[in-house]
A and B are shown apart, each in its own frame.
Chain A
Amino acid sequence: MSTQHAPHKTTTAAAHKSPLAGVRIADFTIHAAGPFCTHVLSQLGAECIKIESKTRPDAFRKPHAVYGRMAAATFDQVSANKLSVRLNLKSAEGVALAKRLVAVSDIAAESFRPGVMKRLGLGFDDLLLGKPDLVMLSLSSCGQSGPDSHFAGYAPLFGAWGGLGWMSGYTDGPPVEMRHVMDHSAGMHAATALMAALHQRRRTGRPQHVDLAAREVASAMIGDALVQASLGAEPARPGNGDLAMAPHGVYATAGVDRWLTVAVRNDAEWQALARVLNQPAAAADERFASASQRWHQRQALDVLMADWLADCDADAMAQRLQQAGVCAHVSWNMQDIADDAHLLARGALTQVSSADIPARLAVGAPARFSRSEGVGIRRLTPTLGQDEDYVFGELLGLGAAERADLEQREVIL
Chain B
Amino acid sequence: MLLNDASPVPDLPLSGCLVIEHASSVAAAYAGRQLAAMGATVVMLEPAAGSPLRRAPPLLEGSGESALFTYLALGKRSVVCDLEIPAGRELLQRELAQADIFIDDTPVHERNALGLEPAALAAAFPALVHVSVLPFGSNGPKAGWRAEEVNLLHAGGEGFLLPNGLSNELFPERAPLKIYGHFAGYQGGCAAALAGLSAWWAVPDTGGQYVDVSVQDAVLAVGAFALQRLGDGSLEHRTTRRFRYGGVFEARDGFIELLTLEDRQWGALVRLLGEPGWADDPALGDPLERSRRGDEINRHVRAWMARHDVEDIVRRAQELGVPAARYRTPADVLGGAHEGARGLFVPVALADGRTAQVLLAPFQFSSTPLQRPSAVPSLGEMGRAANAEETIS
Choose the segment among A276-284, A341-349, A398-406 that binds chain B (4+ C-beta atoms closer than 8 Å): A341-349
Instruction: Write the B43-77 contact mask toward A (1 if CB under 8 angstroms, else 0).
Output: 00000000000001111110000011011100000
Whole-angstrom distance from the CB of B153 to the nearest CB of chain A?
8
Interface size range on B against A: 35 or more
Residue numbers in B under 8 Å from A188 (CB-CB): 187, 190-191, 194, 218, 221-222
Question: In this complex, what residue of A is CB-closest to B151?
Answer: A329
Given A76-B228, A235-B58, are A226 and B327 also a contact pair (CB < 8 Å)?
Answer: no
Whole-angstrom distance from the CB of B221 to the nearest CB of chain A?
5
**How would you classify the secondary structure of chain A's contact residues: helix, strand, loop or mixed?**
mixed
- The answer to whether A168 has its CB under 8 Å from any CB of chain B is yes
> A40–B331 Cα gap in the complex (Å)?
34
User: Does B148 contact A207, Cβ atoms closer than 8 Å?
Assistant: no
> A360–B192 Cα gap in the complex (Å)?
27
Given A193-B38, A196-B197, A240-B175, are A174 and B248 also a contact pair (CB < 8 Å)?
Answer: yes
User: Does B58 contact A208, Cβ atoms closer than 8 Å?
Assistant: no
Residue numbers in A under 8 Å from B211 (CB-CB): 367-370
User: Does A332 contact B157, Cβ atoms closer than 8 Å?
Assistant: yes
Contact of B222 (CB < 8 Å), options: A18, A75, A184, A341: A184
Whole-angstrom distance from the CB of A347 to the nearest CB of chain B?
9
Interface set, chain A 370-413, CB cutoff 8 A to B? 370-372
User: Does B362 contact A216, Cβ atoms closer than 8 Å?
Assistant: yes
- The answer to whether A73 has its CB under 8 Å from any CB of chain B is yes
- The answer to whether A86 has its CB under 8 Å from any CB of chain B is no
- The answer to whether A308 has its CB under 8 Å from any CB of chain B is no
- The answer to whether B78 has its CB under 8 Å from any CB of chain A is no
Instruction: Write the B336-376 contact mask toward A (1 if CB under 8 angstroms, else 0).
Output: 01110110110000000010111101111111100000000
User: Does B225 contact A180, Cβ atoms closer than 8 Å?
Assistant: yes
Question: In this complex, what residue of A is CB-closest to B217?
Answer: A348
User: Does B227 contact A229, Cβ atoms closer than 8 Å?
Assistant: no
Contact of A371 (CB < 8 Å), options: B59, B61, B206: B206
Residue numbers in A under 8 Å from B363 (CB-CB): 189-190, 192-193, 210-212, 216
User: Does B150 contact A249, Cβ atoms closer than 8 Å?
Assistant: yes
- The answer to whether B393 has its CB under 8 Å from any CB of chain A is no
Contact of A192 (CB < 8 Å), options: B160, B194, B247: B194
Given A77-B225, A227-B358, are A166 and B58 also a contact pair (CB < 8 Å)?
Answer: no
> A228–B350 Cα gap in the complex (Å)?
12
User: Does A224 contact B58, Cβ atoms closer than 8 Å?
Assistant: yes
Residue numbers in A under 8 Å from B136 (CB-CB): 342
User: Does A362 contact B227, Cβ atoms closer than 8 Å?
Assistant: yes
- The answer to whether A25 has its CB under 8 Å from any CB of chain B is no
Instruction: Write the A171-200 contact mask toward B (1 if CB under 8 angstroms, else 0).
Output: 001111111110011101111110111111
- The answer to whether A142 has its CB under 8 Å from any CB of chain B is yes
User: Which one of B210, B213, B220, B243 has the greatest number of beta carbons of chain A within 10 Å?
Assistant: B220
User: Which one of A19, A40, A178 has the greatest number of beta carbons of chain B within 10 Å?
Assistant: A19
Given A164-B179, A195-B194, A199-B200, are A176 and B60 also a contact pair (CB < 8 Å)?
Answer: no
Interface set, chain A 1-37, CB cutoff 8 A to B? 17-21, 23, 32, 36
Given A229-B331, A231-B354, are A179 and B250 also a contact pair (CB < 8 Å)?
Answer: no
- The answer to whether B139 has its CB under 8 Å from any CB of chain A is yes
**With A168-B163, A190-B363 given, can you name 16 additional A-B contacts, CB distance below 8 Å?**
A75-B231, A160-B255, A164-B180, A168-B177, A175-B248, A175-B327, A176-B165, A184-B222, A188-B191, A192-B363, A226-B357, A230-B334, A259-B175, A367-B191, A367-B211, A367-B213
Choose the segment among A50-58, A114-122, A151-159 that binds chain B (4+ C-beta atoms closer than 8 Å): A151-159
User: Does A209 contact B206, Cβ atoms closer than 8 Å?
Assistant: no
Contact of B235 (CB < 8 Å), options: A162, A198, A333, A369: A333
Instruction: Write the B255-281 contact mask toward A (1 if CB under 8 angstroms, else 0).
Output: 111010100000000000000000000
User: Does A331 contact B176, Cβ atoms closer than 8 Å?
Assistant: yes
Question: In this complex, what residue of B is CB-closest to A233?
Answer: B61
Whole-angstrom distance from the CB of B340 to the nearest CB of chain A?
8
- The answer to whether A98 has its CB under 8 Å from any CB of chain B is no
Across the A-B interface, the 8 shortest Cβ-Cβ residue pairs? A243-B57, A230-B357, A367-B195, A196-B13, A229-B330, A167-B180, A360-B231, A223-B71
Residue numbers in A under 8 Å from B334 (CB-CB): 226, 229-230
- The answer to whether A274 has its CB under 8 Å from any CB of chain B is no
> A223–B39 Cα gap in the complex (Å)?
19
- The answer to whether B324 has its CB under 8 Å from any CB of chain A is yes
Whole-angstrom distance from the CB of A391 to the nearest CB of chain B?
23
User: Does B345 contact A230, Cβ atoms closer than 8 Å?
Assistant: yes
User: Does B139 contact A192, Cβ atoms closer than 8 Å?
Assistant: no
User: Does A226 contact B170, Cβ atoms closer than 8 Å?
Assistant: no
Given A230-B356, A240-B175, A332-B160, are A366 and B217 also a contact pair (CB < 8 Å)?
Answer: yes
Question: In this complex, what residue of B is CB-closest to A257?
Answer: B237
Choose the segment among B1-9, B14-22, B83-91, B384-392 that binds chain A (4+ C-beta atoms closer than 8 Å): B14-22
> A18–B191 Cα gap in the complex (Å)?
16
> A44–B236 Cα gap in the complex (Å)?
28
User: Does B216 contact A70, Cβ atoms closer than 8 Å?
Assistant: no
> A186–B166 Cα gap in the complex (Å)?
24
